[in-house]
């Protein structure tokens, strides 16, 4: 049974990790594309229209990969997690169906019009199609995170005698106190990813001395959006989300921060340390006294409960993994803020294009937002364990009882092989788009 649960979780973790490489770019990129198109309408400068069309090609490629990798992931609700689907389908089916019916079709329909309909529908309607793609993309994130928010903090439900969850308050799904902070944090993080990709390709063109005009537009836009969004990820959205964890999942918060013992007179914030699960302590830690209490409660002396205060059976299953994921997310987020702030200063002082080292830094830092986004989702999902629905439905009660560990491992290996090929194809196509560069329309 433990092997079966392990491989079920591994397969879902692998497929959703690979899948989320693509939506995190498309959601952020859709807003930047709307910005480029809107600026073209305001300034009547063709280079912004060319920029919008260039990035929509990359958006379309990412969107296609997101669809291809998202369908197998959702099928796993019926294959590997049939019991979970049976018990909770009356609730999570609402939001997942709305995501497919409203968001996906809105996004995909108007994506086609944006790509191929500019001459047919005119510039104002072309802008409108881009705006609707953006709305569909962000609405998709809203419905998916509404689903996850219910699993993290279930509301508006009733459990029948047969164990099934039924929805008693539809409005509660979208007024869930977990939803808005998680959604804003996720969307801000997606915009960080898109900003770094836009800035990185701009830096590449400047270093390569090719497509210089577009390169300058890309890097200026990427830095502007990147600085604002990276700050928003930290505050207020990250702070708000962390306070929700403290309020609704105090065990998770203690594990994230590496707090094993309750500290009287205020809790320290851990900068560096390694969890020792045998002695239940942090090794080689570097900490700042009382800061965590202040950040959490705005009071330096408020105590935060440690893991030892709670029932061990309710602890997250992988505390080191949770701890490291959280600290990777926070550490990379801090680096991204610093890099974007430095780049913005150089841009303001007109030193950016002359300072090749910072252009290289932006290029090489472009994978960091992807890693930080995934680490953030690992934190959320490992933090919810050992529950599928927090405090109500245990993970080992949601798996499909008739799917063996061997079957799951076999299909997992198949997914690995298939996704490696898809990933290589994606990189090849992306490379061709970037190498060719934006098409310059004659004025």
- Give the pLDDT score at 265: 83
Q: How far apart are CA 401 and CA 234, in angstroms?
A: 41
Residues 6+ apart with CB under 8 A from 226: 191, 192, 195, 196, 199, 336, 340, 343
How far is residue 217 from each of residues 45, 356, 437, measured CA to CA in Å? 12, 17, 13
According to the model, what pLDDT value does residue 376 have?
Answer: 98
Residue 443 pLDDT > 60, yes or no?
no
Residue 123's CB is within 10 A of a number of other CB atoms, namely 14
For residue 442, pLDDT over 70 is answered with no
In the structure, what pLDDT confidence band is assigned to residue 73 with cuts at 50, 70 and 90? confident
The whole-angstrom distance between residue 435's C-alpha and the CA centroid of its chain comes to 27
Q: Are 182 and 162 in contact (CB under 8 A)?
A: no
**% pLDDT > 90, the chain:** 93
Asked if the model's pLDDT at residue 288 lies above 80, the reply is yes
Instruction: Give me the mean pLDDT over the 94-104 stretch.
Output: 91
User: Residue range 98-107: average pLDDT?
Assistant: 90
* Residues β-bridged to residue 270: 287
For 311, the 3-state DSSP assignment is coil
- Which of 200, 35, 225, 248 lies closest to 133, judged by CA? 35
Q: What is the DSSP string of 191-227?
A: HHHHHHHHHHHHHHHHHHTSSHHHHHHHHHHHHHHHH
Average predicted confidence (pLDDT) for the chain: 95
Q: Alpha helix (H) ranges present in 209-306? A: 212-232, 239-248, 250-257, 291-297
Q: Is 306 helix (H, G, I), strand (E, B) or coil?
A: coil
Q: Is 288 left (phi over 0), alpha (psi -120 to 50) or beta?
A: beta
Residue given tokens 């990359």 in the structure block: 58
Provide the angle, in degrees to the nearest 10, between the axes of the packed helices 46-79 and 23-43. Answer: 160
Tokens standing for residue 123: 């510039």
- Least confident range from 99-113, 185-199, 309-323, 346-360: namely 99-113
Average pLDDT, stretch 175-201?
98
List the beta strands (DSSP E) in 101-203.
157-159, 165-167
Confidence of residue 372 (pLDDT cuts 50, 70, 90): very high
Cα 321–Cα 72–Cα 150 angle in degrees, nearest 5: 55
């Amino acid at each position: 049974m433990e092997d079966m649960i392990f491989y079920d979780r591994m397969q879902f973790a692998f497929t959703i990790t690979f899948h989320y490489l693509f939506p995190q770019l498309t959601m952020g990129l859709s807003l930047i594309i709307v910005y480029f198109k809107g600026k073209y309408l305001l300034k009547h400068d063709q280079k912004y229209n060319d920029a919008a069309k260039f990035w929509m090609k990359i958006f379309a490629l990412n969107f296609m990969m997101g669809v291809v990798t998202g369908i197998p992931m959702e099928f796993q609700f019926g294959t590997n997690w049939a019991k979970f689907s049976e018990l909770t389908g009356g609730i999570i089916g609402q939001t997942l169906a709305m995501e497919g019916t409203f968001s996906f079709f809105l996004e995909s329909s108007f994506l086609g019009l944006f790509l191929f309909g500019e001459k047919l529908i005119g510039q104002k309607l072309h802008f409108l199609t881009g705006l609707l793609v953006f709305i569909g993309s962000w609405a998709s994130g809203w419905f998916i995170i509404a689903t996850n928010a219910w699993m993290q903090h279930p509301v508006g439900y009733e459990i029948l005698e047969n164990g099934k969850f039924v929805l008693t308050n539809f409005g509660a799904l979208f007024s869930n106190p977990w939803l808005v902070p998680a959604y804003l944090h996720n969307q801000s993080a997606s915009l960080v990813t898109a900003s770094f990709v836009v800035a990185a390709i701009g830096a590449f063109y400047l270093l390569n001395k090719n497509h210089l005009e577009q390169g300058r537009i890309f890097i200026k836009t990427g830095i502007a959006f990147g600085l604002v969004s990276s700050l928003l990820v930290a505050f207020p959205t990250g702070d708000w989300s962390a306070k929700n964890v403290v309020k609704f999942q105090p065990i998770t918060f203690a594990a994230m921060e590496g707090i094993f013992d309750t500290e009287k007179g205020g809790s320290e914030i851990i900068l560096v340390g390694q969890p020792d699960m045998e002695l239940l302590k942090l090794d080689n830690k570097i900490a700042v006294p009382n800061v965590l209490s202040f950040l959490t409660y705005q009071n330096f002396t408020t105590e935060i409960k440690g893991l030892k205060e709670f029932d061990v059976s309710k602890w997250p299953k992988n505390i080191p993994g949770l701890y490291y994921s959280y600290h990777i997310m926070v550490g990379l987020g801090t680096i991204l803020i610093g890099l974007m702030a430095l780049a913005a200063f150089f841009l303001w002082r007109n030193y950016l294009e002359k300072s090749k080292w910072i252009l290289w830094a932006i290029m090489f830092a472009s994978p960091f937002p992807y890693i930080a986004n995934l680490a953030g989702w690992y934190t959320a999902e490992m933090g919810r364990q050992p529950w599928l629905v927090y405090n109500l439905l245990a993970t080992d009660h949601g798996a499909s009882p008739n799917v063996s560990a061997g079957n799951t491992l076999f299909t997992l290996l198949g997914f690995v092989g298939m996704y490696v090929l898809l990933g290589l194809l994606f990189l090849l196509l992306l490379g061709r788009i970037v190498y060719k560069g934006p098409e310059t329309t004659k004025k």
